Copies of this chain bind each other. A is one copy, B any other.
Amino acid sequence: MTWPTYEIKRHFLARMPKDQDILQTIEQFCTTENIHMATFSLIGAVSKVTYGYYDQRLKQYVSFTKEGSFEIVQCTGNVSLLNGSPFVHAHILVADHLGRTTGGHLFSETLVFAGEIELKELIGDIQKREQDVETGLNLWTK
């Protein structure tokens, strides 16, 4: 088992734009800035959230959308290439008005109310996603 290594190039910390989708915001930013690989972490709040669960037997995602105020307790993920474009893979955890938490795989239709992101651009042997027959997922090849 060998794991590829990377160097941090640019290290961003920024306020996320309000009422925008998390995945789209990050993918557009990476496309504009020519970032091919990154990791990020985000806290804040959303006014709408969509997360999913991967059924390992049926090899398909089920997703849930909830509208309303939720804290983003944590949203962590990475950026790598899928079909030559920056693609975000992230998981999100949200808390409701009683502190109860739910979460899973982050999907679009997750709208920022307020958010602070730390994103580290990585350079090196860029990870690419390819269809993995065994799991049915688009996985890194290394």
Contacts and interface: CB of A to CB of B under 8 A. Distances in A.
This chain's copy number in the assembly: 3
Interface residues of A, number: 73
Contacts of A142: 14-15
A39 interface: yes
Contacts of A122: 11, 13
A78 B13 contact: yes
A14 B18 contact: no
Given A3-B29, A13-B4, A134 B91 contact: no
Contacts of A41: 39, 41, 76
A103 B18 CA distance: 23
Contact of A99 (B45, B103, B113, B132): B103
